[in-house]
A and B are shown apart, each in its own frame.
Chain A
Amino acid sequence: MRSRLKWGDFVIIGVVLALAAALTAVLAAGTTGDRLYAEVWQDNQLVERVALTDGTDRTIDLDGHNVIVLSGKSARMESADCRDQVCVRTGTLTRAGQVAVCLPNRVVLKIVGETGEIDAIVS
């Protein structure tokens, strides 16, 4: 059998998992903030950028190809006319850094966070 584990196997598994962890850390960096925005990109063009607040209630229809629902502080891909439906199954996005990607239609829905600016200082 050529499946008897050697030390190098653990090195390989370790490297793969470390890569995943490092990537997660890099992606998570700079995406936090107390203000959330939903961004809709199509063909690498920013189509919509909507601030997500408790009262947000919007539906964005991209010519019937993709329907995006923004509800409160969450966003989801309601429907897509592609075959794989991966973006729809991604479910509801609620945290900064989360994305739902529709590869066939080249649509990206993502949530970005921004640190709130100070509106006023009362002394």
Chain B
Amino acid sequence: MKAKKLTLCGMLTALAVVLSLVERLFPLDAVVPVPGVKLGLANVVTLFALTRLSVRDALAVLLCRVALSSLLMGSVTAFLFSLFGGLLSLTVMWLLLHAEGRFCSLLGVSVAGAAAHNIGQIIAAVIWMQTGAVVAYLPVLLVMSVPLGLVTGLTCSVVLAHLQKIDFYV
């Protein structure tokens, strides 16, 4: 791996960890009492890495981010949920990005990623709780993933538009 790319991945990981910390300042789950509701700002980084780097780099950044943010502020359960959600979200966004531009825009990719993140989280919760009762939270999470996914998709699109102006390519 080239040093420049490695540095960029490190920076993106740091950024994703900071964004996970920052979004705790907006306790969305105080408004919507469902576990796991959050802005998903760190998803901007995953989406960015998928569009600008490769799926392997995006995966590396994701795994490091999940491990680090769980160590910093989470628990074993938080780690499990973030991991499942993150992996499913990454897979869905990676697949949809192949059709981006023709079928859908970055916003649709982001919404699908947000929805997949929630589905992954609930799957992890079902495994952890050994009961399907937590599925009751999924409809609310899915509805929330539409506006939240649009916001993160828009953010990523704005970031990409600005970075087009500078020589950033690796």
* Pick from B111, B134, B142: contact of A9, CB under 8 Å: B111
A2 touches B77 (CB 8 A): no
Given contacts A8-B108, A86-B29, A108-B131, whether A101 and B146 have CB atoms under 8 Å apart is no
A16 touches B157 (CB 8 A): no
A6 touches B142 (CB 8 A): no
When distances are taken between beta carbons in the complex, the residues of chain A under 8 Å from B100 are 2
A89 contacts B by Cβ under 8 Å: yes
A104 touches B146 (CB 8 A): no
B49 contacts A by Cβ under 8 Å: no
A4 touches B105 (CB 8 A): yes
CA distance A84 to B142 in the complex (A): 21
Q: Number of B residues contacting the other chain (C-beta, 8 Å)?
A: 44
B133 touches A91 (CB 8 A): no
When distances are taken between beta carbons in the complex, the residues of chain A under 8 Å from B83 are none
A50 contacts B by Cβ under 8 Å: no
A1 touches B157 (CB 8 A): yes
A23 touches B33 (CB 8 A): no
A110 touches B112 (CB 8 A): no
The 0/1 profile, CB within 8 Å of B marked 1, for residues 92-105 of chain A is 00000111010110
Given contacts A27-B139, A86-B33, A103-B35, whether A9 and B104 have CB atoms under 8 Å apart is yes
A83 CB, nearest partner CB in chain B, Å: 8
- Interface residues in A74-98 (C-beta closer than 8 Å to B): 83-84, 86, 89-91, 97-98
B137 contacts A by Cβ under 8 Å: yes
* Pick from B131, B143, B161: contact of A41, CB under 8 Å: B131
B26 contacts A by Cβ under 8 Å: no
A19 contacts B by Cβ under 8 Å: yes
Chain B residues proximal to chain A, CB less than 8 Å: 29-30, 33-35, 75, 77, 96, 99-108, 111-112, 115, 125, 128-131, 133-140, 142-143, 145-146, 153-154, 157-158, 160-161
Closest 6 CB pairs of A and B: A8-B104, A9-B108, A8-B103, A3-B157, A20-B142, A12-B108
**A-B contacts, 21 listed (Cβ < 8 Å):** A2-B100, A2-B160, A3-B105, A3-B158, A6-B102, A8-B108, A9-B108, A16-B115, A16-B143, A17-B146, A20-B139, A21-B139, A27-B139, A43-B130, A84-B35, A89-B29, A89-B30, A101-B125, A103-B77, A103-B128, A106-B128
Known: A3-B154, A8-B108, A103-B35. 19 other contacts (CB 8 A): A2-B105, A2-B157, A4-B105, A6-B103, A8-B99, A16-B111, A16-B142, A17-B142, A20-B140, A23-B135, A27-B136, A83-B75, A84-B35, A86-B34, A89-B29, A89-B30, A90-B33, A108-B131, A108-B134
